[in-house]
Chain A
Amino acid sequence: MNAPDVALAPVDWVVLSLYLVAIVAFGLYMGRGSRRIDDFFLAGREMRWWAAGLSVMATQVSAITFVGTTGQAYTKGMSFLVFYFGLPFAMVILSATLVPFFYRSGVFTAYEYLERRFDSRTRTLTSFLFLFSRGLAVGVTLYAPSLVLSVVLGWSETTTILLMGGTTIAYVVYGGNRSVIWTDVVQMGLIWVGIFVCVAVAVSRLPDGFALRDALALAQTTGRLETVDPSPDLTRPYTLWSGLIGGMFLAMAYFGCDQSQVQRYLSGRTLTESRLSLLFNAFLKVPMQFLILLTGVLVFVFFHFQAPPLLWNRAELGRVEAAAAPEELASVRGQFEQAHAERREAALRFATARRVGGGETEAARAACVVAERRVEEAEGQARLLAERVTGKPYNDTNYIFPSYVVSQLRGGIAGLVIAVIFAAAMSSLSAELNSLATATLVDFYRRFLKTTASDGHYLLVSRLFTAFWGGFACLVALRAGQLGSAIEVVNRFGSYFYGSILGVFGLAVLTPRATARGAFYGLIAGMSAVFLVSQTRVAFLWYNVVGALTVFAVGLLITAVAPGRAARAR
């Protein structure tokens, strides 16, 4: 059990408890009456566009998106926003191409469509790749926020994982996709409320005489507002081009080929509703990420006037305080506090100079830049000390926002925002569990093991698969601390074939002549090409572009050189 030096107030615990009880009860209530696998997997295909659209959005927003993005804005600024620039264009392309094919063919999984178009080998390989990567990633979906929340709330990791995982498993096993979508709607509504509350609170907590305009000017001075980098350098992670082109391919791969998303919009009442659910996200996604990043920037400004902890991870801070040499710790802490005091003074002088006007403003701005560099140096010294004491790399970016929430927000707002973080985690987890169960049943169990059985049998097995994947996620999350770099390897492995699978779907819907052989060996070539590119310094957003284009080119080449049987139904 960790022991935080700040704690939630009773009213916050009430808010958090209310959320957990209410969301499980609501999920169970909305999932009643699922008697056919159509109900369990596709919510009876009766969802309106706004419900499916909010579910698509909630599935994509994980807890780590929420706490990691704000932390990233705090430390590096808003440049991460370009990651989403290609998304609206991807939604348009998917709505016009893949979605009609999926919907009209009446499939449960995206991979099922590939057998109709190519062969069972291509379907089985793509579905296996999905199960492998998403099956392990679902453990990370659970582990990452649990780790942060356990430190911030003072719970054990096991408690946090079992609470978050157990509540989600309960309503997904019972109600399937209908429960997933309706709880996603509520959770996404809560997340939107939480985003606006966070922005409003961050603005209201600025010191007297320090307006929002001053805060933005200060953030701009330290480069926190920079977003659009037009550099053509392929090794830079977030440029305008990597965001527009790489981000578009990534969004097409994720929303078009990942079953956790495909299953959301296949639940639409009509094809039009399914298309609109995706397009709804095209309008809202970038503004939403902008507000989340802006919250991180405002928290950064807030901590100019409020002393931050030496390390954001309070558990690690406790270890450092217990194990570091007292003189060294005092020296690092002294340097840290001195740098922050200087930065606070520089910020106040900057605001005063802006009000007075004249030539003082530029000098005050330059002083802010110098003060920020000193703070970064002092924070770097603190991190080095933590690494020396603990003997492992130290990164506390994900702890910044939850620490701010628990230590600074009052009157139930902290409880609300922690509930929002829970909601973000649970909404992703629920959709992932439901889609993993669907792919396991439809692409493997029903395809190879038990090809004919009653709906009741398949429904029972679907629930067992959901429970299995939920248990597996909890197990991976509980062991993730020991797995360490293995988890990173698995996540990295996922990026090798994401774009390549997109290439296979591109061949399926865009080229009537492409053969199964071309698609299968194109997929292998695409993954190999991405592996080779990943050994260079090219930024990861370009991997999906390389994978998709390689599959497409190799698939067409093989089709031309060794034509197979005629194309099957598109």
Chain B
Amino acid sequence: MAASATLRREPDPMSASPPPDRPDPKEVPLFGTWTSIYAAIVASAVLVMALVALFSGWPY
């Protein structure tokens, strides 16, 4: 317990590497906005699941 208390009081001596000083693009390269890309992923996931269900039950 004593050891853990000591650990908690110590600051993290490791100076983390700062993220690169590159500006994050305001616009998402695909689909324009994050909301659009998330919506596209959810829609594609639902579509893929539906296609898989169709594949399983298709009367070949």
Q: Which of A37, A104, A282, A290 contacts B19 (CB 8 A)?
A: A104
B32 lies within 8 A of chain A by Cβ: no
- How many A-B Cβ pairs are below 8 Å? 109
Question: A331 contacts which chain B residues (CB < 8 A)?
Answer: none
Does the CB pair A107–B56 fall under 8 Å?
A: no
Q: Which of B7, B22, B30 contacts A270 (CB 8 A)?
A: B22
B interface residues, tally (CB under 8 Å)? 34
Does the CB pair B18–A120 fall under 8 Å?
A: no
The 4 closest A-B pairs by CB, nearest first: A451-B13, A217-B60, A88-B45, A120-B7
Q: Give the complex CA separation of A550 and B32 in angstroms.
A: 37
Contact A112-B38, Cβ < 8 Å, known A78-B56, A121-B4, A270-B20: no
Q: Give the complex CA separation of A105 and B15 in angstroms.
A: 11
Contact A516-B8, Cβ < 8 Å, known A217-B60, A442-B14: yes
B residues neighboring A (CB under 8 Å): 4, 7-8, 10, 12-14, 16-20, 22-25, 28-30, 34, 37-38, 41-42, 44-45, 48-49, 52-53, 55-56, 58, 60
Query: 9 other contacts beyond A120-B8, A220-B56, A228-B53, with CB at 8 A cut-off?
Result: A37-B17, A88-B42, A103-B19, A107-B16, A116-B12, A121-B4, A217-B60, A270-B24, A276-B29
Question: B23 contacts which chain A residues (CB < 8 A)?
Answer: 270
A271 lies within 8 A of chain B by Cβ: yes
A11 lies within 8 A of chain B by Cβ: no
27 A-B pairs in the complex with CB atoms less than 8 angstroms apart: A37-B17, A88-B42, A88-B45, A92-B42, A96-B34, A105-B16, A106-B17, A108-B16, A108-B17, A115-B12, A116-B12, A120-B7, A121-B8, A216-B60, A227-B55, A228-B52, A272-B29, A276-B28, A276-B30, A279-B37, A279-B41, A283-B44, A286-B45, A287-B48, A446-B14, A447-B12, A452-B13
A45 lies within 8 A of chain B by Cβ: yes
Question: A85 contacts which chain B residues (CB < 8 A)?
Answer: 45, 49
Does the CB pair B20–A269 fall under 8 Å?
A: yes
Does the CB pair B7–A124 fall under 8 Å?
A: yes
Q: How far is the CB of B59 from chain A (nearest CB, A)?
A: 8
What residue of chain B has the Cβ atom nearest to residue A118's Cβ? B8
Within A206-238, the residues touching B (CB, 8 Å) are 213-214, 216-217, 220, 225-228
Contact A270-B25, Cβ < 8 Å, known A91-B41, A106-B19: yes
A128 lies within 8 A of chain B by Cβ: no
Q: Give the complex CA separation of A438 and B45 in angstroms.
A: 34
Question: A228 contacts which chain B residues (CB < 8 A)?
Answer: 49, 52-53, 56
Does the CB pair A119–B7 fall under 8 Å?
A: yes
A198 lies within 8 A of chain B by Cβ: no
